[in-house]
Structure 1
Amino acid sequence: MCRSVDVRTAVLAKNDGLAAELRADLASRRVTAVNLLSSPGSGKTALLEIVLRRARERGVAVAALTADLATENDARRLARSGAPVRQVLTGGLCHLESAQVRGLLDGWLPPGTRLLFVENVGNLVCPASYDLGETLRVTLMSVTEGEDKPLKYPTAFGGAHLLVLTKTDLADAAGFDDAAFSTAVERVNPGVEILRTSARTGQGVDTLLDRILTVADGAAPHAPLLAADHLRNHGHHHGPAHDHAPAHDHGTAHDHGHASRATTA
C-alpha cells in the first residue's frame, strides 16, 4: 500500500525546526531578529535605512541582511547607514528560509549586535510561510497599495506582530482610506498595532525603533492571529530554497564598491 507524503508540510516543518534552533541561539547571544515582509515598492528599504541610522545614533549595535532576486542595490543603500550589511541573491527564489539565514550569519554577525534586521524578498505570499528564527515579524505596506491589501494577503498580515504603514505623506494624493484599512487589519489580525510612517518626513521612525527595542528589552510582542502551525498548513510554498545563493558583504557606509563573493547560503 502506497502512502502519499505531503512534501510541502515536511519542508516547512524542517524549516520551523531550524528556525527554533536559530531563535534560541540568537536569544543566547541577546540578539533580537526582525523579519521585514512587504510587497515590492512599499518603501521598506528606504525606511530601514533610516531606522539603522537612528539606531546607530542612539548607540544601538545593529546589522542587516537583505535579500533580492538579482541585484545588490538594497545592500548598497542600507550600507549608507554605517551598519554592517550583507546581501543574499536568491537567484529567482521568492523567499528566504531559516537555513539560509543561519548560514549567512555564521562567522559574520558582529559580536555585541543587539538588533538584526532581515529584509525579506519583496513578496507577500511566499515569505509569509517561512519562520526565519525571528523574534519579531513586521509586515509593511504603503498607502499606494490599497486599503484592502490585508484582506487579499491574510497570511502575511495575520501572522505579523506589528504592522507598518509607509509613505503616509502620499496618503491624501493616493486617496487612501485609513479607516477602511484599519478595519481590514482588524479582521485578519485583531489588536495588532499599526505604525504610520514616512521615510521622507521621518514620521514614525523613532516610534518604530522604540517598539522594536521594547521587545529587545524583554516585552512580549503582540500575539498574531495566525500561529506558526497555521502558516505551515495554509501558507504558500514554492519548494525548498537553493543552497547556492551567493551572499555579499557591504560592510559600512564607506564600502560602496562591488562586494566580493562571500560564503554561500
Structure 2
Amino acid sequence: MCRATDLRQAVLARNDASAEALRAELAGRGAIAVNLLSSPGSGKTALLESELALARERGVPVAALTADLATDNDAARLARAGVPVQQVLTDGLCHLEAVMLRGYLAGWLPADTRLLFLENVGNLVCPAAYDLGESLRVTLASVTEGEDKPLKYPGAFGLAHLVVVTKADIAAAVDFDEEAFLRNVARVNPGVEVVFTSARSGQGVGILLERALAVRDGARVHRPVMARTPAHDHLHSPADDHLHSPAGAPAVPSPEHQHAHDHEHDREHGALPHTHGAPHHDHDPLPQAHRGECPSVDRW
C-alpha cells in the first residue's frame, strides 16, 4: 500500500513540476491556460466553439486543445471557429496531464496566443487531480445533469475558480432547481462565481472569454477553501462536517442549519455570495488539487 501511495505521489509531484514550468512558459509569452472540466454531454464543446468564434471576431489570439479517448470530432467542431485547434487522443486515459500537454504544445502553439483553452476529457473525477499549468480552472455542468452534481463530485466543483451552468435555455423543461444547485455549489466551494449559459440561445456567451482575459491581465482568481491535507491526502472543506454525517445522523443538514452554517462560514473566511455578475478576484490562483486514484500512463 505504501509503495502504491509513494508511486502515486511521485507521479503527481512530477506532474506539478511540469505544470509549474508550463504556467511560467505561458506567462513569459503573455498567455494563460484555461482548464475546462465537465462530464460527457455537458455542452462544453458547443460553448467553447461559441467562445472561440467570439474571440476571433474580437481579434483575441486564442487556441484550443481538446482531449478525448477516441475520435477527433470535437477538434473538427472547434476548428469551425477559425482558430488553431489541436486534438489529443488519450487512448483510454481518463484525464490530461501536464507532462503530455507540454509535448503536444511544443512546436504547435502559435507565438501570438494569449489564451489557450484546454478541453479536458469528459470526466468529473480524474481531471480534478491534475494541475495542467492553468491559471483559470472552470467546471461546467448542464441543467440536465441534476442539482446534486456538486455534492457528488466535490473535487471537480470544490477546486473550481469558476462554475458554468450550460443549456440554461432548457432549464424549465427539465425542472432544474437553480437555487438548490447554487446551495450545493456553496457547500463545497463558498464564494465561487456561478454563471448561466446557453450556446444555442447565446445566453452568457462571452462571459468565459471575459473572465479569462481578466485573469490574463492580472485579475486574481477565486481561491477555493477546499484543499488537500498532507496527512491523509483527502479533500477537506468546511462542508465536510455535513457531507460526511455519522451513523444514524441525517445525511444532509436541515435548511435552517445549512443557512446558519453558510453565514458563519462566510464571516470566517470572507466568502462572497454567488453572483451572476463580476468575478471574485481577491484570492491566489490554484490551490493544490485533490489527489484521486486515477492511473497515470507514461506513453507520451
Aligned to 2:94: 94
Aligned to 1:9: 9
Q: Is the 1:26–1:32 contact (alpha carbons within 8 Å) kept by the matching residues of 2?
A: yes
In the alignment, the residues of structure 1 paired with residue 8 and residue 225 of structure 2 have an alpha-carbon distance, to the nearest angstrom, of 22
Is 1:239 the counterpart of 2:292? The answer is no
2:171 partner SS? helix
In the alignment, the residues of structure 1 paired with residue 95 and residue 290 of structure 2 have an alpha-carbon distance, to the nearest angstrom, of 16
Aligned to 2:173: 173
Query: Percent of aligned positions with the same letter in both sequences?
Result: 66
Q: Is the 1:96–1:241 contact (alpha carbons within 8 Å) kept by the matching residues of 2?
A: no
Shift of 1:6: 2.0
Aligned to 1:164: 164
The number of aligned residues is 243
In the alignment, the residues of structure 1 paired with residue 97 and residue 155 of structure 2 have an alpha-carbon distance, to the nearest angstrom, of 17
Shift of 1:17: 1.1
Q: Is the 2:227–2:290 contact (alpha carbons within 8 Å) kept by the matching residues of 1?
A: no
Q: Which amino acid aligns with 1:236?
A: G
Aligned to 1:200: 200
Q: Is the 2:227–2:289 contact (alpha carbons within 8 Å) kept by the matching residues of 1?
A: no
TM-align CA RMSD? 1.7
In the alignment, the residues of structure 2 paired with residue 37 and residue 241 of structure 1 have an alpha-carbon distance, to the nearest angstrom, of 20
Shift of 1:233: 7.8
Q: Is the 2:130–2:289 contact (alpha carbons within 8 Å) kept by the matching residues of 1?
A: no
Aligned to 1:73: 73
Higher relative CO (Cα under 8 Å, sequence separation at least 6) belongs to 1
Is 1:115 the counterpart of 2:118? The answer is no
1:66 partner SS? strand
Shift of 1:198: 0.1
In the alignment, the residues of structure 2 paired with residue 228 and residue 206 of structure 1 have an alpha-carbon distance, to the nearest angstrom, of 32
2:164 partner SS? strand
Aligned to 1:105: 105
Aligned to 2:276: none
Is 1:25 the counterpart of 2:25? The answer is yes
Q: Which amino acid aligns with 2:24?
A: A
Q: Is the 2:64–2:86 contact (alpha carbons within 8 Å) kept by the matching residues of 1?
A: yes
Q: Which amino acid aligns with 2:295?
A: G
Shift of 1:162: 0.4
Aligned to 1:59: 59
User: Which structure 2 residue ranges, 5 or more long, are not aligned?
Assistant: 236-287
Aligned to 1:262: none
Q: Is the 2:19–2:131 contact (alpha carbons within 8 Å) kept by the matching residues of 1?
A: yes
In the alignment, the residues of structure 2 paired with residue 204 and residue 179 of structure 1 have an alpha-carbon distance, to the nearest angstrom, of 18
Q: Which moved more, 1:141-150 or 1:206-215?
A: 206-215
Shift of 1:228: 6.5
In the alignment, the residues of structure 2 paired with residue 233 and residue 84 of structure 1 have an alpha-carbon distance, to the nearest angstrom, of 29
Aligned to 2:217: 217
TM (normalized to structure 1)? Answer: 0.88
Could you say which structure has the larger radius of gyration? 2
Is 1:39 the counterpart of 2:39? The answer is yes
Shift of 1:227: 3.8
Q: Which amino acid aligns with 2:107?
A: G
Q: Is the 2:65–2:119 contact (alpha carbons within 8 Å) kept by the matching residues of 1?
A: yes
Deviation digits for residues 132-169 of structure 1 (CA, Å, limit 9, x no counterpart): 00011000000000001000000000010000000000
1:6 partner SS? helix
Deviation digits for residues 179-238 of structure 1 (CA, Å, limit 9, x no counterpart): 000000000000000010000011101222111111111100111223466677843222
Deviation digits for residues 38-82 of structure 1 (CA, Å, limit 9, x no counterpart): 000000000000000000100000000000001100000000000
2:173 partner SS? helix
Q: Which amino acid aligns with 2:211?
A: R
User: Which structure 1 residue ranges, 5 or more long, are not aligned?
Assistant: 244-264
1:163 partner SS? strand
1:45 partner SS? helix
In the alignment, the residues of structure 2 paired with residue 234 and residue 8 of structure 1 have an alpha-carbon distance, to the nearest angstrom, of 12
Q: Is the 1:143–1:176 contact (alpha carbons within 8 Å) kept by the matching residues of 2?
A: yes
Aligned to 2:284: none
Q: Is the 1:43–1:166 contact (alpha carbons within 8 Å) kept by the matching residues of 2?
A: yes
Q: Is the 1:97–1:241 contact (alpha carbons within 8 Å) kept by the matching residues of 2?
A: no
Deviation digits for residues 97-126 of structure 1 (CA, Å, limit 9, x no counterpart): 000110011011001100000000000000
Q: Is the 2:93–2:296 contact (alpha carbons within 8 Å) kept by the matching residues of 1?
A: no
Q: Which moved more, 1:15-24 or 1:71-80?
A: 15-24
